């Protein structure tokens, strides 16, 4: 939680500075809208800072190493792409908090569960704000997509400048190799293309694309390898939107098994590359 919280602090700080200093691509033409956006981002930045402080305080309480900020580089180039990334990232953290809450509850850590639930509520509000800025309804689905701590841990590392995060070694979570969504799908059933960098022992002929959406049973679709060399593997898989109504955030992972999977944790255990994040 502290690891991802610090990345949120950096994201909001960078976005706020880009807007207030009118960096090209980040200008908000309407003065009233610009004022509201700046006030909102200032509030979200302060909330993220307080959450990160509280999360690190919890680590100190249990005599664990606190998490230090990393050097970040967010894959955005303008206001529109930053707001879209903010929605996706917030929804991924919101889903991962479901996993964290479950872990706390199973360990009878009721105070920590309450703490995580409080942050989940704030993330729901935050997601709604990002959505309204994109002229979407504030709430996309009745049951936000669940996640897994390893997926969030891996996703955040894609925002980190390589070799510029000493805290990664202190966090006992698994890091997956990145998965790129080459053809982000819309609200229809279609074939999508993804890519990843091959690794030693990669069995590209025995892979599935597995989707996690809302609280539904994960869906596995067999993959078809389009091209492969020492640098990149490109594959194609069905995105079965109509059959399963894959609205909101969908977490995609290349798995070494077609399941069946009961939940996100089982998908994580079989994941080779991921997560790919799809928002419909």
Structure tokens at 196: 């990843």
Identify the CA nearest to 88 among candidates 155, 28, 39: 155
| pLDDT(75) > 70 | yes
221 phi and psi, to 5 degrees? -120, 135
Identify the CA nearest to 250 among candidates 224, 274, 227, 226: 274
Q: What is the DSSP string of 163-184?
A: T--GGGGGS----PBP-EESS-
- Percentage of the chain surpassing pLDDT 90? 97
C-alpha 23/C-alpha 31 separation (Å) is 16
Identify the CA nearest to 279 among candidates 100, 127, 158: 127
Asked whether 1 and 68 are in contact (CB, 8 A), the reply is: no
3-class state of residue 87 by DSSP: helix
Identify the CA nearest to 85 among candidates 77, 97, 76: 76
As a whole number, mean pLDDT of residues 163-179 equals: 96
* CATH number for domain 2-170, candidates 2.20.110, 2.60.40, 1.20.1260, 2.40.50: 1.20.1260
Q: Report the CATH fold assignment for 180-279.
A: Immunoglobulin-like (2.60.40)
| pLDDT(204) > 80 | no
Q: Tell me the angle at which helices 149-157 and 79-106 cross, rounded to the nearest 10 degrees.
A: 150
Q: Where are the domains of the chain?
A: 2-170, 180-279
Report the DSSP beta bridge partners of residue 181.
194
* Mean confidence (pLDDT) of the chain: 96
pLDDT digits (tens, 9 = 90+) for 99-151: 999 999 999 999 999 999 999 999 999 999 999 999 999 999 999 999 999 99
Helix, strand, coil percentages for the chain (3-state, nearest 5): 45, 20, 35
C-alpha 140/C-alpha 124 separation (Å) is 11
Structure tokens at 137: 């309804």
């Amino acid at each position: 939680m502290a690891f991802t919280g610090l990345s949120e602090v950096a994201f909001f700080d960078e976005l706020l500075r880009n807007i207030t200093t009118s960096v090209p691509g980040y200008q908000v033409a309407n003065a009233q809208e610009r004022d509201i956006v700046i006030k909102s981002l200032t509030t979200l930045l302060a909330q993220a800072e307080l959450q990160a402080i509280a999360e690190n305080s919890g680590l100190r309480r249990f005599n664990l190493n606190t998490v230090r900020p990393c050097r970040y580089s967010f894959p955005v180039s303008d206001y529109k792409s930053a707001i879209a990334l903010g929605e996706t990232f917030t929804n991924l953290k919101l889903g991962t908090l479901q996993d964290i809450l479950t872990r706390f509850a199973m360990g009878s850590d009721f105070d920590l569960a309450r703490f995580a639930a409080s942050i989940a509520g704030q993330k729901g509000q935050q997601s709604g704000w990002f959505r309204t800025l994109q002229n979407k309804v504030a709430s996309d689905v009745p049951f936000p997509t669940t996640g897994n701590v390893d997926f969030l841990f891996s996703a955040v590392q894609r925002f980190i400048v390589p070799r510029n995060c000493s805290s990664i070694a202190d966090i006992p979570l698994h890091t997956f190799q990145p998965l790129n969504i080459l053809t982000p799908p819309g609200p229809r059933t279609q074939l999508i293309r993804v890519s990843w960098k091959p690794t030693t022992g990669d069995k590209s002929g025995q892979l599935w694309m597995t989707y996690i959406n809302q609280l539904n049973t994960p869906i596995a679709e067999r993959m078809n390898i389009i091209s492969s060399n020492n640098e990149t593997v490109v594959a194609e898989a069905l995105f079965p939107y109509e059959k399963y109504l894959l609205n909101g955030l969908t977490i995609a992972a290349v798995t070494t098994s077609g399941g069946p999977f009961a939940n996100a944790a089982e998908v994580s255990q079989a994941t080779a590359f991921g997560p790919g994040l799809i928002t419909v």
